[in-house]
Amino acid sequence: MISYRLEGSQGNARAGHILTRHGDVPTPAFMPVGTLASVKALSSAEVAASGARMQIMNTYHLWLRPGPERVAELGGLHEFARWPHAIATDSGGFQAFSLAERTKMTEEGFEFSSHLDGKRLKLTPEEAMRIQGLLGSDIAMQLDVCLSGTAGLPELRAAVDRTTRWAERCLAAQAPGQALFGIIQGGTNIELRLEHAETLGKLPFQGLALGGFSVGEPPAHMHASLVQIAHRLDAARPRYLMGVGTPEDLLVAIGAGIDLFDCVMPTRNARNGQAFTWQGKVTIKNARYRDDPLPLDPECTCSACRGGYSRAYLRHLFVAGEILALRLLSEHNLTLYGRLMREARAAILDNRYADFAAERLAVFRNLTDTSQPG
C-alpha cells in the first residue's frame, strides 16, 4: 500500500510525498520508463542518481517476456531489476491498443495477438490485476479504455463508462498490499473528465490518474484541459498524468496540480540524439558541435557534463553509432528531468512556483537549438 502526504502548496501546485513499500517518493515526481525492467541504456544506479525514486514498468511487455510467473519466482520486479526504490506498472491496455495486432475490445476485456509471436492473448481487468500482482509493483494501474485525441463524444462517453466498470472489477481483484490507481478518461471534453473524476473519486483507489492525454491533441489543448481538471481531483490522493511529457508540459501540469508523471521522452529523445538543456534543446549530430569543446550543459551535474565530455566527443560518438553516446545523453536528459522536479518542489515549498515556472517555460519555449540539421 501507499499513502500520500501533502507538504505544501502554492495555488494549485502541490509538494508532497508518496510513501510506498519501497521508500519515499517526493512529489512532484517524474518516473523514468523501464519498459522491459530496464530504463533503456542505463543502470539502476544511474537512474537513481538522476533523482528518480519510482520507475514505471510495462505490464504488456513483461507479460510477453520474461512472463510474470518467472518474475515472481525470481523475487518480483524490484529484485529482478535490482531497483530498490518504488515501481509502478501500467495495465497493459495502452499497448494492447497501440502495439499488439488484431486487437478486439469487448466488455470482457481485450483480445489481441502478441507483436512478438502472434500468440492470441486476453487481457481482462482481472488478468491485468493478476499480472501486476505477480510482478510485485508498488502501484498498479487499472485496465482502461484509451481513445485517440480525435474521438467524438459518443465514443468518449462509452470509453468512460466502460473504464468505470473495469475500475470496479480491478478493485475487486486488487492484489494484497499493492496500491491501485484509477484512470480518468474523457479526452479533452472537460465536462466528461470532471464527471469521470467524480465517479472514480468515490471508489477506494489509492491514487487517480489522467489517461488519454498526449495522444495526438495539440499541447495547448492538453494544457488548457489540465488547468481546469487537475485541481478538481481528490486532494487526499496522488494525481498522476500518464505518458506526459516535455519539460514545458510538466511545468504547466505541476502548476495545475499534478504530482506524478511518466514519459519515454527523455530517454527516447536521447537515443535519437536530442538533449534537453537548461539553455534549450541540443541536437547533438548537428555539424555546429563538431569542434565544440564545451560540455552539453555547463549547469548540469550528470556524469556526461561533470565528466567533462565535450559536445564534439558526444557528437562523434553519436555519429559513429557508439553506445556510450546513448548512455550519456540518456543520463543527461533524466538528470534534467530529475532536477526540474526537485526545483519545482522547492519552488512550491518556497511559495514561488509561479515565477519559477514562468522563467523556466520561457527558456524551454524560446531558446531551442538554433542550428540546422547537420
In degrees and rounded to multiples of 5, residue 27 shows phi and psi of: -120, 155
138, 259, 262, 297: the catalytic one is 262
Q: Which of 227, 324, 354, 363 is close enough to bind a second copy by CB under 8 A?
A: 324
| Least spacing, CB of residue 107 vs a second copy, in Å | 33
Q: What is the dihedral of CA 17, 44, 93, 91, to 10 degrees?
A: -50
CA distances from 70 to 30, 34, 63, 75, 194 (A): 28, 18, 10, 9, 40
Q: 3-class SS at 372?
A: coil
Cα 314 from Cα 338, distance rounded (Å): 21
Active-site residue 24, yes or no?
A: no
Report the candidate in 228, 272, 251, 231 with the shortest Cα–Cα distance to residue 339.
251
Q: How many beta carbons lie within 10 A of that of residue 74, not counting itself?
A: 12
Residue 233's DSSP bridge partners are none
Residue 309 lies near a second copy (rule: CB under 8 A): yes
Burial of 254 (0-12, 13-18, 19+ CB in 10 A): buried
Residue 291 lies near a second copy (rule: CB under 8 A): yes
Q: How many beta carbons lie within 10 A of that of residue 248, not counting itself?
A: 16
Contact in structure between 140 and 178 (CB atoms under 8 Å): yes
**Which H or E element spans position 34?**
strand 33-34
**Which H or E element spans position 225?**
helix 219-229
| Least spacing, CB of residue 65 vs a second copy, in Å | 6
Residue 177 lies near a second copy (rule: CB under 8 A): no
**String marking each residue 77-116 x if it binds a second copy according to CB under 8 A:** ---xxx----------------------------------
Q: Which of 2, 13, 29, 41 is close enough to bind a second copy by CB under 8 A?
A: 41
Stretch that binds a second copy, among 186-194, 200-208, 239-247, 300-308 (CB under 8 A): 300-308
Q: Which of 21, 288, 316, 339 is close enough to bind a second copy by CB under 8 A?
A: 316
Cα 217 from Cα 299, distance rounded (Å): 33
Active-site residue 90, yes or no?
A: yes
Taking the least distance from each CB to a second copy, the nearer of 324 and 354 is 324
* Count of residues interacting with a second copy (CB under 8 A): 39
90, 144, 249, 297: the catalytic one is 90
Stretch that binds a second copy, among 219-227, 254-262, 273-281, 304-312 (CB under 8 A): 304-312
Q: Which of 1, 74, 236, 367 is close enough to bind a second copy by CB under 8 A?
A: 74
Q: Which of 9, 12, 38, 103 is close enough to bind a second copy by CB under 8 A?
A: 38
| Least spacing, CB of residue 374 vs a second copy, in Å | 13
**Which residues lie near a second copy (CB under 8 A)?**
36-38, 40-45, 61, 65-66, 70, 73-75, 80-82, 290-291, 293, 303, 307-310, 312-313, 315-317, 319-320, 322-324, 326-327
Which of the residues are catalytic?
90, 262
